[in-house]
Structure 1
Amino acid sequence: MMLDLPTTHESALARMAAWGVTFDHFFDVGAAGGTWGKKIRNLWPETSIFFVEAAPAWVPQLKQAASRLGGRIEVLNAAAGDEDGDAYFRFDPDNPYGGALIDQPAEHAILVPKVRLDTVIEERALDGRFALKLDVHGAERTILTGARRFMEQCDFVVFETYNFGPATRRFGQMAVYFEEEFGLRCIDMAEPKWRPYDNALWQLDLYFVRPEGTRLAEWRLT
């Protein structure tokens, strides 16, 4: 019998925990207000959390979230990328959840630090296994170029993806990419959205795990 399961992030994360997904460090890239911190701590209370956010406007709220959640949390006001240095971050004054890295100065753009995830874990000598949440609007592959060592230790990834636009944003191509590049398989989804003007599937979050790290009954390609 097929079950009609809820598609909230909370329910999907609960399924991850029930399948035996575990990790030592959770990286929230594109953290915004830090709402994922509570979701993670509710199910994996011992994990450390890294909030990575390029927009300085979110930093006070992230620090408040870190204070409420207790220890083992670090706020990094930086953009994750393929190299270390600086980059211009262009933001939308009317949409705090938007923003993108660009190559040169522009209106509503500020200079921000840019860091590879590999640099973050190397500087802190982090051991153990990682989990990664990405909300970066198509910049996933650029960020993962600077996270090769990180991904070797990463067993769980969730990120926002789309049904339209470049291949680097579309969910089908990204599912193949994560399996071929990192050996991670798509196992769940959350919060699908449909376009209001034509009801086409527009956006959803995909969940990836390393098959050998779960208690699932079977993994088949059929």
Structure 2
Amino acid sequence: MVSLLNKFFLKLGYKLQKTPIAYKKSIVVKSEFTTQKALGRMVGHGIEINTVIDVGASDGRWSQECMPFFPEAHYLLVEAQVDHLEGLEEFQRTHKNSSFLLAAAGKENGTIYFDNSELFGGIASEEPFNEDSIKVPVVSLDSEIEKRSLKAPFLLKLDTHGFEVPILEGAKNVISKANLIIIEAYNFNIEEDSLCFWELCDYMWHLGFRPLEVVDLMARAYDGTFWQMDLFFIKKDHPIFKYIKYR
């Protein structure tokens, strides 16, 4: 029908063309691949955790979501932004199996710059930012875990907006004793030295881990393009990877 109409309109100097469907932000896809369902599957796989290290903890909302699955673990919340102090103090008050550290995580102890422009965003950097730059304490996770005598096996969660590599470099002992590492990963190099998700998978492979779960995929507001997700990494020699069939 369209071709017949086009023959007619071409004689008049016009052409019919299909209008592209605009991206709709309101589209929601329900999925089995959410953080809570993936954490439930981790428990089902027998993943043992004695300490949860929540880096980029904000006010503790992710640890709150995780706690029903590992209720006996101790939760160490690491957050750089002082505006979350009240929320962290409240979390510690209401959860006796928790503690927090108001600092950024990095390769070694000292101070570092932090982008303080967004309360639930921000990133650490060795160099100051042009705007909203603050200087905050930075600690290596290895030193902090040793200082606090926290017990393995660990769950390490990073919500650190492209600053993952320095944190992992300062957590070699934690990684060696971790059963689960959860990292917010991106489809873009959001910072100069940040890793895209496929680069992160390769980096983690060389640390002895491979991804088991992909959860909470997000499209960016700008154009609906795939933006980020959370990757669940477990040790690459875990028995679960020996079974390679679908059923």
TM-score, reference length from structure 1: 0.87
Alignment partners' CA distance in 2, 1:156 and 1:138: 19
Match of 2:161 in 1: 137
**1:51 aligns with one of 57, 62, 77:** 77
1:158 partner amino acid = I
Question: Which of the two has greater strand per residue?
Answer: 1
The alignment's C-alpha RMSD in Å is: 2.2
Match of 1:17 in 2: 43
Larger RCO (alpha carbons 8 Å, 6+ apart): 1
Does residue 128 of structure 2 align to residue 128 of structure 1?
Answer: no
Does residue 156 of structure 2 align to residue 117 of structure 1?
Answer: no
Match of 1:98 in 2: 121
* Cα distance change on mapping 1:199 and 1:76 into 2, 3 Å: same
CA apart distance, 1:140:
0.5
Match of 1:194 in 2: 219
Alignment partners' CA distance in 1, 2:150 and 2:142: 10
| Percent of matched pairs sharing the same residue | 32
Alignment partners' CA distance in 2, 1:167 and 1:161: 13
Does residue 63 of structure 2 align to residue 37 of structure 1?
Answer: yes
Per-residue Cα deviation, 1:29-66 (whole angstroms, up to 9, x for no partner): 00012112222220111100000000000111112122
Alignment partners' CA distance in 2, 1:213 and 1:190: 20
Alignment partners' CA distance in 1, 2:243 and 2:145: 31
Alignment partners' CA distance in 1, 2:58 and 2:171: 21
Match of 1:185 in 2: 210
- Compare 76-85 and 123-132 and name the one that shifted more: 123-132
Larger Rg: 2
Per-residue Cα deviation, 1:75-115 (whole angstroms, up to 9, x for no partner): 100000111011222210xx211222233486422221110
1:195 partner amino acid = R
Per-residue Cα deviation, 1:183-222 (whole angstroms, up to 9, x for no partner): 11100011101234543321111111124556x37355xx
Question: Which residues of structure 1 form unaligned runs of 5+?
Answer: none
* Cα distance change on mapping 1:109 and 1:196 into 2, 3 Å: closer
Question: Which residues of structure 2 form unaligned runs of 5+?
Answer: 1-29
* Cα distance change on mapping 1:185 and 1:219 into 2, 3 Å: farther
Alignment partners' CA distance in 2, 1:40 and 1:212: 25
- Compare 49-58 and 59-68 and name the one that shifted more: 59-68
Look up the SS of the partner of 2:215 in the other structure: strand
Match of 2:112 in 1: 87
